[in-house]
Structure 1
Amino acid sequence: MYFLFSLKGGAFMITYKKDSKDNLLSPDSSMPVLAMCYDFDKTLTPDDMQAQGFIQSVGYNEEQIKQFWHESNQLAKKHDMDNNLAYMYKMIQEAVGHFYVTKDKLMEYGNQVELYEGVRTWFERICQYGLEQGVKIEHYIISSGLKEMIEGTEMAKEGAFTKIYASAFMFDDKGVAVWPAQAINYTNKTQFLFRIQKGILDINDTGVNDYIKPENQRVPFRNMIYIGDSDTDIPCMSLVNANGGHSIGVYDPFKKDKEKVYKMMRHHRIRYYAPADYSNGSKLDTLVKQIIRKTAAYEVLEGEYIHCKYEAEE
Structure 2
Amino acid sequence: MSSNQYTRERKEDKPVLAICYDFDKTLSPDDMQAQGYIQSVGYDVGEFWTESNGLASQNDMDQNLAYMLLMKKKAAGKLVFTRENLENYGAKVSLFPGVEDWFERIRTYGAEHGVIVEHYIISSGLKEMIEGTSVAKNGAFKRIYASSFYYDSDGVAEWPAQVVNYTNKTQFLFRIEKGVLDINDPGVNDSFAPDEIRVPFRNMVYIGDSDTDIPCMKLVNTYGGHSIGVYSAVTHDKAKVYKMMRDNRIRYYAMADYSDGAELDELIKAIIDRTAKNEALESKFFDCKNEQIRVDRQNSDDQKEKIELLIELESSRSFASTHATIEKMRRIETWTQEEREAIFEIALSNSQVRYIIGDLDVKMFYLGLLRNCQSLSEKAMEVNAMLEG
State the TM-score, normalizing by the size of structure 2. 0.74
Distance 1:297 1:269 in 2: 25
Q: Which runs of 5+ in 1 are unaligned?
A: 1-18
- SS, match of residue 227 in structure 1: strand
Listed one character per residue, the Cα deviations across residues 223-260 of structure 1 (whole Å, up to 9, x for unaligned) are 00000000000000000001000000000022111010
- What is the rounded CA distance, in whole Å, between the counterparts of 2:148 and 2:121 in structure 1? 13
Pairwise CA distance, 1:158 = 1.5
2:8 aligned residue = 23
Q: Partners of 2:98 and 2:156 in 1: how far apart?
A: 34
**Which of residues 47, 69, 81 is equivalent to 1:67?**
47
How far apart are residue 84 of structure 1 and its match?
Answer: 0.2
Decide which moves more: 89-98 or 153-162.
153-162
Equivalent residue runs for 1:264-283 within 5 Å = 264-283=244-263
What is the DSSP-based 3-state SS (H/G/I as helix, E as strand, rest coil) of the residue aligned with 2:206?
strand
Matches within 5 A, 1:79-158: 79-158=59-138
Q: What is the distance in 1 between the residues matched to 2:98 and 2:50?
A: 32
Q: Which residue of structure 2 lines up, in the alignment, with residue 286 of structure 1?
A: 266
Deviations 1:140-194 (A, max 9, x none): 0000000000000111112110000000000011110010000100000000000
Q: In the aligned structure 2, how far is the partner of 1:69 from the partner of 1:289?
A: 37
Letter in 2 for 1:50: Q
Q: Higher helix proportion, which one?
A: 2
| Contact 2:6–2:185 (8 Å) recurs in 1 | no
Q: Does 1:34 align with 2:14?
A: no
Tell me the equivalent position of 1:174: 154
Aligned to 1:13: none
Other-structure match for 1:211 = 191
Q: 1:309 aligns with which of 289, 301, 307?
A: 289
Q: 1:46 to 1:20 in 2, by over 3 A?
A: farther
- Residue deviations 1:21-53, cap 9 Å, x none? 75203x5x4210000000000000000000000
TM-aligned CA deviation for residue 114 of structure 1: 0.3
- Kindly tell me: are residues 273 and 69 of structure 1, through their superposed partners in 2, closer, same or farther at Cα, counting changes over 3 Å? same
Mapped to 1, the partners of 2:234 and 2:181 lie a distance apart of 36
Identity of aligned residues (%): 63
* Secondary structure at 2:74 match in 1: helix
Q: CA RMSD in A?
A: 1.1
Structure 1 position 216, deviation (Å): 1.2
Greater C-alpha radius of gyration = 2
Letter of the structure 2 residue corresponding to residue 89 of structure 1:
L
SS of match in other structure, 2:147: strand
Cα separation, 1, equivalents of 2:8 and 2:133: 24
> Secondary structure of 2:100's partner?
helix
The 1:20–1:271 alpha-carbon spacing in structure 2 relative to 1, beyond 3 Å, is farther
Residue 20 of structure 1: how far off its partner (Å): 7.7
CA distance in 1, matches of 2:39, 2:72: 14
- Aligned position for 1:15: none
**Alignment partner, residue 384 of structure 2:** none
SS for the counterpart of 2:122 is strand
SS in 2 for 1:36: strand
Mapped partners of 1:194, 1:263: distance in 2 = 26
Following superposition of structure 1 onto structure 2, how do residues 236-247 of structure 1 map, counting pairs within 5 Å?
Answer: 236-247=216-227
Q: 1:211: Cα distance to partner?
A: 1.1
Amino acid at match of 1:287: L
> 213, 220, 245: which one pairs with 1:233?
213
Could you list the runs of 5+ residues in structure 2 that have no partner in the other structure?
A: 295-389
Task: List 4+ stretches of structure 1 deviating above 3 A.
Answer: 19-22
Q: Give yes or no for contact 2:20–2:122 (8 Å, CA) kept in 1.
A: yes
How many Å separate the matches in 1 of 2:77 and 2:247? Answer: 47
Aligned residues of 2:201 and 2:220 also touching (Cα < 8 A) = yes
Count of residue correspondences = 291
2: CA distance between counterparts of 1:20 and 1:220? 24
Equivalent pair of 2:29/2:234 in contact (CA under 8 Å): no
Aligned to 1:24, what secondary structure does the other structure show? coil
Amino acid at match of 1:23: R
